[in-house]
Structure 1
């Protein structure tokens, strides 16, 4: 199982109230924010590094949420996008 799939399972297990499409979108957004780029062969240490960075970012953003409304999801998505743009500038 790849990093992206494992992180989708992680998000699904930690948040309720999101559709499958929302989970995919959120997972991809966080992975992009931490600089993840998929590759065919990654050492286990690199996979672990990305998973740990993903979980750290996820917990930092979602520590107050267990169930999420569409509006909460929208706001968080915009926040992650704005942080990503600021980091790239």
Structure 2
């Protein structure tokens, strides 16, 4: 329950970003936002694009042309879905 509450509170912070590495589970404040679109996780070093919500290895340009911009709720839903899958393994 405590973890869910912490995750909820963190998700309410507009500049907070979760690490997209499925093996990490960490997150951090990325106050630079779209001005510095690449976030490097302080815990694992994984790089992701905060604009498109994708790992850098996926390529921002490809994501933008295929999917268009992703809003924060869609990113949170994707992380929650991935987390649920990991928990169910």
Which bracket does the TM-score occupy, shorter chain normalised?
0.3 to 0.5
Task: Judging by fraction of residues, say which structure has more strand.
Answer: 2
Task: Judging by fraction of residues, say which structure has more helix.
Answer: 1
TM-score w.r.t. length of structure 2: 0.36
TM-score w.r.t. length of structure 1: 0.36
- Where relative contact order (Cα < 8 A, 6+ residues apart) is larger, the structure is 1
